[in-house]
Amino acid sequence: MWNALFAVAIAHAIGASLDQIRAGLRSFKPDLADSQGRFSIIDRHPFRIILDYGAGREAIGELANAVRRMPVAGRK
């Protein structure tokens, strides 16, 4: 979230329109193309893979919280 907020601030500062900023935010996906290693979600298998560079205890805790909130039919 912080990265997105900073990206919006920088885009606004360099003159991007609100429509351009909105389009950029809408096009972003948590996958290897847009966010390599930062909560990258891969759904190309019969199971979901989540890759994240956990930089510290707090980051790993937040990753675990996010995974706990994800609906799943099988096991995590």
CA distance 20 to 46: 36
CA distance 40 to 32: 6
Report helix, strand and coil shares of the chain as percent, to nearest 5.
Answer: 45, 10, 45
Going by pLDDT thresholds of 50, 70 and 90, the confidence category of residue 53 is confident
pLDDT digits (tens, 9 = 90+) for 1-31: 788 899 999 999 999 999 999 999 999 877 7
CA distance 38 to 54: 8
